[in-house]
Amino acid sequence: MSEQHDAVDVIRAKRDRHPLSDSQIAWVIDAYTRGVVADEQMSALAMAIFLNGMSREEISRWTTAMIESGERMDFSSLSRPTADKHSTGGVGDKITLPLAPLVAACGVAVPQLSGRGLGHTGGTLDKLESIPGWQAELTNEAMLRQLEDLGAVICAAGSGLAPADKKLYALRDVTATVEAIPLIASSIMSKKIAEGTGALVLDVKVGSGAFMKTTDDARELARTMVDLGTDAGVTTVALLTDMSTPLGLTAGNALEVRESVAVLAGGGPADVVELTVALAREMLSAARVSDVDPADALADGRAMDVWRRMVAAQGGDPDAELPTAAEQHVITAPESGVLQSLDAYAVGVAAWRLGAGRARKEDPVQAGAGVELHAKPGDPVTQGQPLLTLHTDTPERFERAEACLEGAWSIGEGQPERPDVVMERIA
């Protein structure tokens, strides 16, 4: 049992820019999880952390206390090493879908505990649930069996992992403290470390469609998370990747599954393929598997085989027709030229308004809703050609979706400067 403290003293210490002691952190996380510290007190502490920050030692201890609030998973019984990937979220970011079976096809087990979308960023589980029959919920025993048999599982995290984080996450959402880097880093890493993976690759998004809008903020978050993983004995690497433009050519649940299957079949958009292979190489390297190139496993169909078995193992039909939206609306290019920019955030909000996302975690999503892109920055466009297709079952949503796309793209002459998909590596 941790030493007893007083919530007001802990809040006051951080308000006045003093470091919190190990015992203060252990006590406040435990007491908040048990309901001894009230929401309004934790809100005040979260705001003090947001304004005054935390040292590496404080963040590490905070993360450990969150892990200790629940259970830890153990994959040491598996016959192969484990590696996981976490993305900080973006628009059109369907990378987990082709990545998990690809890495598994190369001999490394991928225990991918994923979440649902909220706001303008899509959720991996929402995407997979557009496959008829597919189930997100698995017991720990079923997850271990699937990892041993197939090497890959994508499922919902159980309520036993870092319950303190679940409680604090909901609080941050309604107190304007979501962007606090110590709290983002500890939230992500407490769950990933508790999950028990041997290696972790972080995909930290930068740009308008990401939570981190600037490279400096993304770099600080990546460095903080890499330090946390390293301190916990997990081999951790981060890539900063571009999220100024949507990834691939789709944003929306079934639309993104179709695109992921195209990648696994050896096609798909170049940026999705590039990032999938880059992250796969990092995961294999972190798991110390160096004798296989994931590009080969993508080309020869091995990754597709694992995908089909993985979908079927969780009740899904890999051959089933994916849902399509009842209504489409095409937005055409107003002039000819070269597409200079296409704002990821605007596309994400449009997909959300069409029904692909949710405003509250209990809201339903439309499997077929979303935005399809017919051009990316750098592509020539002709006046009147389709630029975007909006998909929804509820056509009254078109007007609001189209409104948020006003000014979301620009057309001009010459090739725009485009950032690399992978901008930086932090290890």
Tell me whether residue 425 is in a domain: no
What is residue 236's three-state secondary structure?
strand
Asked if residue 384 lies in contact with residue 332, where contact means CB atoms within 8 angstroms, the answer is yes
166/5 Cα distance (integer angstroms): 23
Tell me whether residue 319 is in a domain: no
Asked if residue 14 lies in contact with residue 50, where contact means CB atoms within 8 angstroms, the answer is no
What does DSSP assign to residue 82?
B
193/279 Cα distance (integer angstroms): 19
**What is the side-by-side strand order in the sheet with 199-206?**
84-87, 199-206, 235-242, 422-426
Same domain, yes or no: 273 and 332: no
Same domain, yes or no: 210 and 263: yes
Same domain, yes or no: 148 and 271: yes
* Residue count (the chain): 427
The one-letter amino acid at 157: A
pLDDT score of 2: 57
Q: Which residues are designated catalytic?
A: 86, 165, 172, 187, 191
Tell me whether residue 374 is in a domain: yes
Tell me whether residue 199 is in a domain: yes
Asked if residue 237 lies in contact with residue 286, where contact means CB atoms within 8 angstroms, the answer is yes
Same domain, yes or no: 227 and 347: no
In which residue are the tokens 């919190």 written?
20
What does DSSP assign to residue 329?
E
Same domain, yes or no: 205 and 308: yes
* Among candidate residues 136, 151, 137, 156, the one with its CA nearest the CA of residue 75: 151
Interior CA angle at 221 toward 163 and 362, to 5°? Answer: 40
Same domain, yes or no: 276 and 237: yes
256/39 Cα distance (integer angstroms): 37
Tell me whether residue 77 is in a domain: no
Same domain, yes or no: 173 and 113: yes
What is residue 126's three-state secondary structure?
helix
Domain hosting residue 279, numbered range: 84-158+169-313
Tell me whether residue 73 is in a domain: no
Tell me whether residue 141 is in a domain: yes
Q: With b meaning 16 or more CB within 10 Å and e meaning fewer, what string describes 352-364? A: bbbbbbbeeeeee
* Among candidate residues 326, 94, 50, the one with its CA nearest the CA of residue 183: 50
pTM, two decimal places: 0.94
Same domain, yes or no: 233 and 363: no
Phi, psi of 3 (to 5 degrees): -55, 145
Same domain, yes or no: 355 and 391: yes
Phi, psi of 61 (to 5 degrees): -70, -40
Q: How many domains does the chain have?
A: 3
Same domain, yes or no: 138 and 208: yes
Tell me whether residue 309 is in a domain: yes
Same domain, yes or no: 242 and 384: no
**CATH number for the domain that contains residue 384:** 3.90.1170.30
pLDDT in tens, the chain (427 residues): 457 899 999 999 999 999 999 999 999 999 999 999 999 999 999 999 999 999 999 999 999 999 999 999 999 999 999 999 999 989 999 999 999 999 999 999 999 998 877 667 778 999 999 999 999 999 999 999 999 999 999 999 877 889 999 899 888 878 989 889 999 999 999 999 999 999 999 999 999 999 899 999 999 999 999 999 999 999 999 999 999 999 999 999 999 999 999 999 999 999 999 999 999 999 999 999 999 999 999 999 999 999 999 999 999 999 999 999 999 999 999 999 999 999 999 999 999 999 998 777 677 899 999 999 999 999 999 999 999 999 999 999 999 999 999 999 999 999 999 889 999 999 9
What does DSSP assign to residue 207?
S
User: Within a 13 Å sphere around the CA of 57, how many CA atoms are in the beta-carbon half?
Assistant: 7
pLDDT score of 170: 83
pLDDT score of 118: 64
Last-in-domain residue among 256, 282, 313: 313
Same domain, yes or no: 303 and 362: no
Instruction: Sort residue 232 into left (φ over 0), alpha (ψ -120 to 50) or beta.
Output: alpha
Say which residues have a Cβ less than 8 Å from residue 232's Cβ, sequence separation at least 6: 60, 63, 64, 189, 193
pLDDT score of 385: 97
**CATH number for the domain that contains residue 110:** 3.40.1030.10
